[in-house]
Amino acid sequence: MLKVVFHEGYLARYPTGAVETPARIRSIMGNIKGRYEVITPEPAATEDLLRAHTPDHLVQVQLEGKAVREAAALAAGGALCAARLAASAGHPVFAAVRPPGHHAGRNRFGGFCFFNNMAVAVLALLDNGAFSRAAVIDFDMHRGDGTAEIFAGDSRVALLDVSSAEKNHFIEKIEDFLEALPTVDIIGVSAGFDMHLKDWGGLLTNRDYHRIGRAVADAARKKAAGRVFAVLEGGYMPHDLGKAVLAFCVGLEGKDLLEPTHMARS
């Protein structure tokens, strides 16, 4: 059974881009309420953040103000919680966090991202010694430049950033990567939904997000002992975001999309 990581703090208002709103998370929770067990995370500790970021970066985020610093630490903590749950229990986990993280590099932030949630989560598992290899798939429409920078030269992490794929090969690129993937200890997914038909990218339907979830679930079962977690990145049209996330989560559970047509179509 899939679990969802959520904290009331993800509904907080803090200074950021106008489109990165609490309504995004309300849409997701509204769609998955009652379906999945919800787990409440703790904020990431300083030592967790320092695996992905420089001490100076932590100071820079601090200077953005208390609201930003608290929200960012809580989002990183949510990703960490999801990764640890997936690692120990072996069932899929979706972390419905904001702010997103994949544009945050070791020593810089931007693009609505402050701490790199995915990097904080994966590095915690790798550095504790139990896990030695991870795969990270980023299907946001924007390049996860922060994640790429943090994992550059780290042979423990196989990273796929789909944003460079031609539009009609978007899903195929994910499937090809999963097909070629060697055995890993865990798969992390930077799940951005801004490639949605009704979002900025204007490409993927809810059925497509279900297909991606399903492909990742299959690969996780075959190559990662079923260990997989996903962390929300982009997706800026609250009306459609929740449905897309639900379709992805149903796929991640390895289940068919047996929903009314309003959800199956986008």
Q: How many Cβ atoms are within 10 Å of 162's Cβ, its own excluded? A: 23
Residue 231, φ and ψ in degrees, nearest 5: -125, 130
Choice between 55 and 202, CB closer to Zn ion: 202
**Least Å from the CB of residue 201 to Zn ion:** 8
Choice between 3 and 24, CB closer to Zn ion: 24
CA–CA separation, 31 and 13 (whole Å): 21
**Residues with Cβ within 8 Å of residue 152, at least 6 apart in sequence:** none
**Least Å from the CB of residue 44 to Zn ion:** 22
Residue nearest Zn ion by beta-carbon distance: 234
Catalytic residue among 53, 103, 196, 210: 103
Choice between 9 and 146, CB closer to Zn ion: 146
Interacting residue ranges for Zn ion, rule: CB under 5 A: 140, 142, 192, 194, 234
Beta bridge partner(s), residue 230 = 94, 189
Beta strands in the chain (DSSP E): 3-5, 37-39, 93-95, 134-138, 157-161, 186-191, 228-232
Choice between 23 and 50, CB closer to Zn ion: 23
**Least Å from the CB of residue 43 to Zn ion:** 24
Question: Is the preceding omega at residue 99 within 30 degrees of 0, hence cis?
Answer: yes
**Least Å from the CB of residue 128 to Zn ion:** 30
Q: Verify whether residue 196 is a known catalytic residue.
A: no
Tell me if 29 sits within 8 A of 6, measured CB to CB.
yes
The residues annotated as belonging to the active site are: 103
